[in-house]
Structure 1
Amino acid sequence: MDRPELPLAQLHAFVVLAEELHFGHAAARLGIAQPPLSQQIRRLEDKVGHALFTREPGRVALTGAGRELLPAARRAFTDLADGLAAARAVGSGRTGRLRIGFAASLALTVLPGLLRGFRERFPGVRLDIREMTTAPQIAALRDKAIDVGLLREPPADDADGAGLAFRTVLTEPFVAVLPSAHPLAALRTVRLVRLADEPFVLLPRDAGPRLHDQIIGLCEAAGFTPRVTQRAVEWQTACALVETGLGVCLAPASIRRIRLKGVAFRAIEPNARTRVAVGWRADDPSPLVAHLLETVGRDPDSAR
């Protein structure tokens, strides 16, 4: 059997009259005249099929049907108020879920401060943090699998970056990563040309095409093409391979925060820097994304 639909205006009038038990007082509270209030109550009674109030001169009282309906009507308005509050919170970006992709090495730099600052401002937002290299982050942004990415060397404004927007968070220099026993580790600064005969550990190009090509380009500008003998998706792994003596590599300077006894980090000449950016879908109106971008702008470390 189909249930009758009860308009909210009629339920509201019923609850107020049940609380006031006086048509004049209830009408004043609702901001309407008494005749429209009486019409609302009668329409509701028609839908219920029973009288909800007894009406006697100078006295209004709930019937048994009215007493049964009142708790449910109050719950309905409480649930509606809670739902409206929850919708406003999500709509304003004070609650909800924000999915963030990040390059592993950024856990050593911008990520902790960014997340801490965001959580302080928006403690009701649930953060879903996913470790991903740059290329998978680009794909995940396009596929709407993540909302924001923190990545190195984002695509240029061409087909690779179509539909996405990027903002630089920080830049940092490259360093040479050497076994601590390597002769070049005795120097404060290593000229890139002196690495020409060394085996290299390099990330796969499909993990971060622009960063990969930047490293290759630095070597070629120094007069040689690096002889890549090992591949590592993450910088921590690359450093571990260097520690075992399997090669050398060029890495972002923040990698120096990894404490490996058998590895030396040295400045390079000529100096070169790598860019860290935050990325998002340009057509994403989410207030959560906007709040994260504001937090990036507030972070003093992002200007480094």
Structure 2
Amino acid sequence: MERPELPLPQLHAFVVLAEELHFGHAAARLGIAQPPLSQQIRRLEDKVGHALFSREPGRVTLTPAGRELLPAARRVLTDLADGLAAARAIGSGRSGRLRIGFAASLALTVLPGLLRTFRQRFPGVGLDIREMTTAPQLAALHDKTIDIGLLREPPATETELEFRTVLSEPFVAVLPAGHTLATRRTVHVAQLADSPFVLLPRSVGPRLHDQITGLCTAAGFIPQVAQHAVEWQTVCALVETGLGVSLAPASIRRIRLKGVAFRGIDPSTARTRVAVAWRKNDPNPLVTHLLATVIQEGD
């Protein structure tokens, strides 16, 4: 059975008249003359098939049908008002949910300040924060399972995604505290040639992996990988056990392990880039707001 169309202006007029029980007062409250108000009520009564008001000289009262309709009419108008407010908030980016992927090491650098500023500016927006390495973030952006990515070393060419550099940072050597090179202030990459390495697998961050192995190649050797680890905290923990050494972004020095020494490297000009990534022409206003926050934090 087809449901009747909701006569919203008529419901509004009905609720106001039910509250005022006076055509003159109700018309003034609605900002219309009495005849149009009477017409609205008549049209609604025609749809219902029964009188909603008892009209007597000097007195207007609700009929049983009117009393039955009133709470439903109020719910409809309230739900509509709430829905419109919610739609406006979503459309303007003042509410909703933003899905953000981030590389774990960024929790040691840009992520806390960025999220704190964003939450202060947009307290009505829910954040879905997902720890992901670079390659899974790129896939999730393409699959539209995240809206924003914070990653290291974005790909050089990409047709569907945009990138903006957030920061760049140098590399450090990650050594067991008892390593002979741990006594030095700076380590030349070539001095690591005889040590086994603990590295991220290339599959989770191809460009970062290639940067690190490229530093070794430029220093005259191919790193002998003893162990792979997906997260930098795990890399550091494995270095602490003596399984090998590593080269890593300088921010991981904030991972404090007694058995690990972090040392600057030569060449000191080598740097790794952190970028924010998003889909081109994404209409989501929350993405625009976060990008504006990234720019603000970088100024």
Please name the residue that 2:293 is paired with.
Answer: 295
Please name the residue that 2:184 is paired with.
Answer: 187
Please name the residue that 2:47 is paired with.
Answer: 47
Q: Are the equivalent residues in 2 in contact too, given 1:163–1:283 (CA < 8 A)?
A: no
Correspondences of 1:74-85 after superposition (within 5 Å): 74-85=74-85
Q: Displaced runs of 4+ in structure 1, greater than 6 A?
A: none
Please name the residue that 2:106 is paired with.
Answer: 106
Please name the residue that 2:243 is paired with.
Answer: 246
**Which one-letter code corresponds to 1:68 in the other structure?**
E
Which is further off, 193-202 or 21-30? Answer: 21-30
Paired with 2:55 and 2:277, the residues of 1 have a C-alpha distance of 66
Please name the residue that 2:208 is paired with.
Answer: 211
Paired with 2:6 and 2:209, the residues of 1 have a C-alpha distance of 64
Q: Are the equivalent residues in 2 in contact too, given 1:172–1:273 (CA < 8 A)?
A: yes
Shift, 1:173, TM fit? 0.6
Q: Secondary structure at the match of 2:210?
A: helix
Which is further off, 77-86 or 31-40? Answer: 31-40
Please name the residue that 1:119 is paired with.
Answer: 119
Q: 1:231 aligns with which of 228, 233, 241?
A: 228
Paired with 2:125 and 2:6, the residues of 1 have a C-alpha distance of 35
Shift, 1:39, TM fit? 2.0
Please name the residue that 2:262 is paired with.
Answer: 265
Q: Note the residue ranges of structure 1 that are not aligned, 5 or more in a row.
A: none
Q: Secondary structure at the match of 2:97?
A: strand
Paired with 1:92 and 1:276, the residues of 2 have a C-alpha distance of 28
**Which one-letter code corresponds to 1:283 in the other structure?**
N
Q: Note the residue ranges of structure 2 that are not aligned, 5 or more in a row.
A: none
**Which one-letter code corresponds to 1:239 in the other structure?**
C
Please name the residue that 1:62 is paired with.
Answer: 62
Please name the residue that 2:278 is paired with.
Answer: 280
Please name the residue that 2:31 is paired with.
Answer: 31
**1:133-172 Cα distance to aligned partner (Å, 9 max, x none):** 000000001101111111101112x2xx221111111111
Shift, 1:25, TM fit? 3.3
Give the % identical residues.
Answer: 81
Please name the residue that 1:162 is paired with.
Answer: 159
Paired with 2:3 and 2:155, the residues of 1 have a C-alpha distance of 56
**Which one-letter code corresponds to 1:188 in the other structure?**
R
| Alignment root-mean-square deviation, CA | 1.6
Q: Are the equivalent residues in 2 in contact too, given 1:6–1:47 (CA < 8 A)?
A: no
Paired with 1:126 and 1:11, the residues of 2 have a C-alpha distance of 35
Please name the residue that 1:134 is paired with.
Answer: 134
Please name the residue that 2:15 is paired with.
Answer: 15
**Which one-letter code corresponds to 1:144 in the other structure?**
K
Normalized against structure 1, the TM-score is what? Answer: 0.93
Q: Are the equivalent residues in 2 in contact too, given 1:168–1:277 (CA < 8 A)?
A: yes
Q: Are the equivalent residues in 2 in contact too, given 1:10–1:41 (CA < 8 A)?
A: yes
**1:81-108 Cα distance to aligned partner (Å, 9 max, x none):** 1111111122222221111111111111
Paired with 2:229 and 2:55, the residues of 1 have a C-alpha distance of 83
Q: Secondary structure at the match of 1:251?
A: strand
